[in-house]
């Protein structure tokens, strides 16, 4: 855990950094005086970035920016002119510059990033010194750039500022107090175990464009998998590749990590990300002069979403709709990016990698990029003030605004924004303040919303570490759409959940979707509704029309399928070629069923049965419970008992209490109370009158009164991931039908939900 007193990073040409308050160096600001700015750009003349910036300068009616090449800088020949406003751009796309910085002739090599970083930051500091001596000013601060190109330092600065970031054992200066040494694979393994991180990203500290990045996951002794674009030749040299591949042996992973380690490594928890159309998704958000102006969605089937590694652009409208449907705030998501950019107040523009958590309600910052604005043909966000402008046009507009005649602060920028951003120029206002109607989540203790420098409420409470004690807020959700029309529930990354969480699967045997939906809307099942995402059930289709068939499918990983159209990635799946429903977030097992797959990675699988298919009396009643390591059934658990669910919960509580604390648990409960006969749950009903939708509803209310105890037991030892669903519905005279094992909508349409149970939150 990063020390919350660490407020920032300072570094001089000597490279020695110290923790202390971050300072705003206003001497680097462009002059806020009238007159046409004279621009210069430090870059490689043939680089696309320089060309796009020059296009933006010409489009603004300005004289072409004077180009100072990186070769001139590295040779000590750079010259700046008095009054110039100087943009520092990437040194990429020039083989000679790369050779001078890296010290090698092959730009595809991964090694040498520490040497590159030392020479590059020294060159940037020389640019700053020469510009200052000439009376020119920079749009990019050399010390900000030095931090941005060291992932450890950058993470530490963000964390100390309260920006939500993935947990990391390497945050902060590599040589600072309490720094964890990362000398090779043995240290990575140790830190993963010590910090309980079964899934991490291992990144070269000074890399970019996913060079050398490894997405690493472990699942028990001897089980390891790494996803990376790094390739190692027969001589042990590392090369970047455009092909993402997987390593599945510890020996191969160790060799890669050991080769990367001398240049410095950063380790951070691999957060499960939201998905779009079955592909993991994140966003690159460009912040100019303190304002989020551009955003692009990146999706991929691999953990790395970089476009050059097979990622594709996603749909931003779908993201905004998903955030709203989840009760989140798009403005709050952008505010996180602006909060991150505010950590670098003397740099006009940064690109923020925004990681949406599963469910699209919470966000974290993965990285902040000094040269993260290369998004050709992407125009500004609505309301950003950069509509119709690309990222370079927005930066030119900010420079022009800074050079315009002085005007009232309210017209120049947000009240409370930094002086630096006012000097850089205010692009425009989207909404100066977040909506006032914020409410706290019913399941989270929260503080009032933090305000950012732009006036927006900060992002809701995040599942990642924060340096402050605030837990965040959730913005009042829009009224949910009718359940039957809602999109499929976002799928969490089960590879992050399996191994770290206890698991609970509850099948509400024979529960009809329409009855479950009606009772939820009427407030008759409050203990269930408080855990349902958005307070509503998801409409799904059962894999079978009766208990035995459905549970055989469910135990093979085929949970009820979302009724909404679209790809439906599964949470669990056995490995087989050609599967179209196995996604990056799917927990894939090598065994024929989920139960043995979970047992293979250390789970204790326990069944508390209900209906006759779980009673272990005839041979058929032994098939399903026989798939578990431990199974329980008593007559008082069965369909004929008016107190069946209470008895099942009591047994589940006993099972949990007797488990060793470190033993992971997969607990399955088949709830029999809704199955016929259920007339005895409705006061005044009789056996002669029989069962009906009304008695079915009364049975669900009975289950709701006791299910809080089950949730509390399941989450009493650690965080628990819960799935609650029906295995099939049943007919009560619908179109003349009674019962199930028939192809009727009342039978195949079922309610479904999955959610997390926090320890102690359900008591």
- The edge-to-edge listing of strands for the beta sheet with 199-204 is 238-247, 224-232, 214-218, 199-204, 265-269
Please tell me the predicted confidence (pLDDT) of residue 273. 85
Please tell me the predicted confidence (pLDDT) of residue 356. 93
Residue 160's nearest CA partner among 285, 267, 22 is 22
User: Do 226 and 247 form a contact (C-beta atoms < 8 A)?
Assistant: yes
User: Do 256 and 232 form a contact (C-beta atoms < 8 A)?
Assistant: yes
Give the span between the Cα atoms of 378 and 350, in whole angstroms.
15
Give the span between the Cα atoms of 662 and 270, in whole angstroms.
22
State how far the alpha carbon of 614 is from the alpha carbons of 27, 73, 85, 554, 638, in Å: 75, 76, 76, 15, 9
User: Do 560 and 540 form a contact (C-beta atoms < 8 A)?
Assistant: yes
Residue 154's nearest CA partner among 365, 1, 347 is 365
Strands 630-632 and 224-232: unpaired
Q: Name residue 539's beta-bridge partners.
A: 751
User: Do 331 and 255 form a contact (C-beta atoms < 8 A)?
Assistant: no
Please tell me the predicted confidence (pLDDT) of residue 358. 82
- Exposed (0-12), middle (13-18) or buried (19+): which is 464, by Cβ within 10 Å? buried
Please tell me the predicted confidence (pLDDT) of residue 239. 66
Residues with Cβ within 8 Å of 370's Cβ and at least 6 positions away in sequence, in order, are 140, 144, 145, 148, 149, 347, 350
Q: Name residue 737's beta-bridge partners.
A: 734
> In the chain, which residues have pLDDT < 70?
1-35, 104-112, 174-178, 208-210, 212, 219-222, 230-236, 238-243, 306-311, 405-489, 761-763
Task: Write the Ramachandran bin of 335: left for phi over 0, alpha for psi from -120 to 50, otherwise beta.
Answer: alpha
Give the span between the Cα atoms of 336 and 334, in whole angstroms.
5
Please tell me the predicted confidence (pLDDT) of residue 673. 97
Residues with Cβ within 8 Å of 485's Cβ and at least 6 positions away in sequence, in order, are 564
Most distant CA pair in the chain, distance:
99
DSSP conformation class of 28: G
Token pair belonging to 487? 């999109």
User: Do 164 and 360 form a contact (C-beta atoms < 8 A)?
Assistant: no
- Answer whether 277-478 and 491-757 agree in fold: no
The sign of the dihedral angle between the CA atoms of 753, 270, 17, 31 is negative
- Where do we find the tokens 């472990």? 218
CA angle 192, 756, 227 (to 5 degrees): 40
Annotate 63-82 with DSSP letters as a single string.
PPPEEEEHHHHHTT-----T
Please tell me the predicted confidence (pLDDT) of residue 108. 56
Indicate the pTM of the whole model. Answer: 0.55
Between the two ends of the chain, the Cα-to-Cα distance in Å is: 29
Residues with Cβ within 8 Å of 648's Cβ and at least 6 positions away in sequence, in order, are 608, 610, 637, 669, 671, 672, 710
Please tell me the predicted confidence (pLDDT) of residue 601. 92
User: Do 541 and 560 form a contact (C-beta atoms < 8 A)?
Assistant: yes
User: Do 547 and 728 form a contact (C-beta atoms < 8 A)?
Assistant: yes
Q: Name residue 670's beta-bridge partners.
A: 507
Please tell me the predicted confidence (pLDDT) of residue 241. 62
Please tell me the predicted confidence (pLDDT) of residue 258. 87
Give the span between the Cα atoms of 297 and 319, in whole angstroms.
8
Please tell me the predicted confidence (pLDDT) of residue 309. 52
Q: Which residues of 176-191 are buried (b: 16+ CB within 10 A; e: fewer)?
A: beeebebebbebbbeb
Residue 473's nearest CA partner among 504, 451, 502, 493 is 451
Domain ranges of the chain: 185-269, 277-478, 491-757
Please tell me the predicted confidence (pLDDT) of residue 25. 38
Q: Which CATH number fits domain 277-478: 3.30.470.20, 3.20.20.70, 3.40.50.12780, 3.30.70.1350?
A: 3.30.470.20
Give the span between the Cα atoms of 96 and 488, in whole angstroms.
51
Q: Which CATH number fits domain 491-757: 3.40.710.10, 2.60.40.1120, 3.40.720.10, 3.20.190.10?
A: 3.40.720.10
Token pair belonging to 665? 């648990």
Please tell me the predicted confidence (pLDDT) of residue 214. 84
Please tell me the predicted confidence (pLDDT) of residue 431. 39
Query: Quick check: helix, strand or coil at residue 484?
Result: helix
Q: Name residue 88's beta-bridge partners.
A: 42
Please tell me the predicted confidence (pLDDT) of residue 222. 64
Give the span between the Cα atoms of 44 and 138, in whole angstroms.
17
């Amino acid at each position: 855990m990063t020390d919350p007193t660490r407020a920032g990073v300072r570094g001089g040409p000597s490279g020695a950094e110290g923790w202390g308050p971050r300072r705003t160096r206003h001497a680097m600001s462009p002059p806020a005086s009238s007159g046409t700015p004279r621009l210069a750009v430090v870059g490689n003349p043939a680089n696309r970035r320089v060309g796009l910036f020059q296009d933006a300068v010409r489009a603004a009616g300005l004289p072409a920016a004077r180009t100072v090449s990186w070769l001139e800088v590295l040779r000590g020949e750079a010259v700046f002119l008095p009054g110039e406003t100087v943009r520092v751009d990437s040194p990429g796309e020039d083989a000679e510059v790369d050779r001078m910085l890296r010290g090698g002739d092959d730009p595809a090599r991964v090694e040498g990033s520490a040497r590159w970083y030392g020479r590059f930051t020294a060159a940037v500091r020389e640019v700053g010194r020469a510009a200052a001596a000439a009376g020119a000013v920079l749009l990019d601060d050399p010390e900000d750039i030095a931090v941005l190109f060291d992932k450890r330092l950058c993470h530490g600065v963000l964390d100390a500022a309260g920006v939500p970031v993935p947990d990391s054992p390497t945050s902060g200066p590599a040589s600072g107090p309490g720094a964890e040494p990362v000398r090779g694979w043995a240290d990575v393994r140790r830190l993963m175990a010590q910090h309980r991180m079964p899934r991490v990203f291992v990144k070269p500290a000074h890399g970019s464009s996913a060079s050398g990045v490894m997405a690493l996951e472990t699942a028990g002794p001897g089980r390891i998998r790494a996803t990376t674009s790094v390739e190692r030749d027969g001589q042990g040299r590392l090369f970047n590749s455009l092909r993402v591949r997987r390593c599945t042996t510890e020996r191969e992973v160790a060799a890669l990590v050991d080769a990367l380690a001398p240049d410095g490594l950063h380790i951070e928890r691999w957060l499960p990300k939201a998905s779009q159309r079955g592909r993991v998704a994140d966003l690159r958000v460009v912040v100019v002069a303190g304002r989020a102006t551009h955003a692009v969605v990146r999706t991929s089937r691999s953990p790395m979403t970089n476009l050059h590694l097979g990622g594709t652009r996603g749909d931003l409208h779908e993201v905004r709709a998903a955030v709203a449907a989840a009760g989140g705030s798009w403005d709050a998501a952008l505010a996180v990016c602006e909060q991150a950019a505010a950590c670098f107040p003397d740099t006009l523009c940064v690109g923020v990698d925004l990681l949406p958590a599963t469910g699209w309600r919470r966000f974290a910052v993965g990285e902040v990029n000094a040269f993260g604005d290369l998004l050709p043909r992407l125009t500004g966000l609505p309301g950003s003030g950069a509509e119709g402008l690309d990222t370079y046009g927005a930066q030119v507009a900010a420079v022009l605004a800074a050079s315009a005649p002085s005007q009232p602060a309210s017209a120049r920028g947000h009240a409370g924004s930094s002086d630096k951003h006012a000097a850089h120029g205010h692009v425009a206002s989207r909404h100066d303040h977040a909506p006032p109607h914020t409410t706290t989540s019913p399941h989270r203790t929260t503080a009032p919303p933090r305000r950012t420098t732009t006036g927006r409420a900060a992002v809701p409470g995040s599942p990642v570490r924060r340096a402050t004690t605030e837990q965040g807020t959730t913005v009042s959700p829009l009224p949910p759409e009718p359940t039957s029309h809602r999109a499929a529930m976002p799928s969490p990354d089960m590879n992050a959940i399996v191994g770290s969480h206890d698991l609970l699967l509850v099948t509400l045997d024979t529960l009809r979707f329409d009855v479950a939906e009606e009772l939820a809307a009427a407030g008759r099942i409050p203990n269930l509704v408080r855990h349902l995402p958005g307070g509503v059930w998801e409409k799904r289709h059962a894999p079978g029309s009766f208990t035995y068939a459905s549970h055989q499918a469910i135990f093979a990983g085929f949970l009820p399928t979302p009724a909404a159209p679209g790809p439906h990635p599964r949470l669990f799946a056995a490995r087989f070629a050609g599967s179209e429903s196995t996604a990056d977030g799917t927990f894939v097992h090598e065994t024929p069923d989920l139960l043995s797959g979970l047992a293979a990675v250390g789970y204790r699988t326990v069944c508390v049965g209900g209906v006759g298919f779980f009673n272990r009396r005839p041979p058929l009643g032994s098939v399903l419970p026989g798939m578990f390591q431990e199974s329980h059934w008593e007559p008082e658990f069965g369909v004929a008992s008016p107190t069946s669910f209470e008895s099942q919960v009591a047994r589940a509580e006993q099972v949990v209490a007797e488990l060793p604390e470190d033993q992971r648990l997969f607990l399955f409960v088949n709830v029999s109370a809704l199955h016929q006969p259920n007339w005895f749950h409705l006061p005044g009903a009789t056996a002669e009158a029989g069962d009906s939708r009304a008695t079915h509803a009364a049975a669900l209310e009975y289950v709701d009164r006791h299910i809080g105890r089950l949730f509390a037991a399941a989450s009493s030892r650690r965080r628990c991931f819960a799935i609650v669903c029906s295995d099939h519905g049943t007919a009560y005279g619908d179109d003349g039908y009674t019962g199930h094992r028939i192809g009727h909508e009342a039978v195949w349409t079922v309610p479904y939900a999955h959610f997390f149970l926090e320890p102690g939150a359900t008591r």
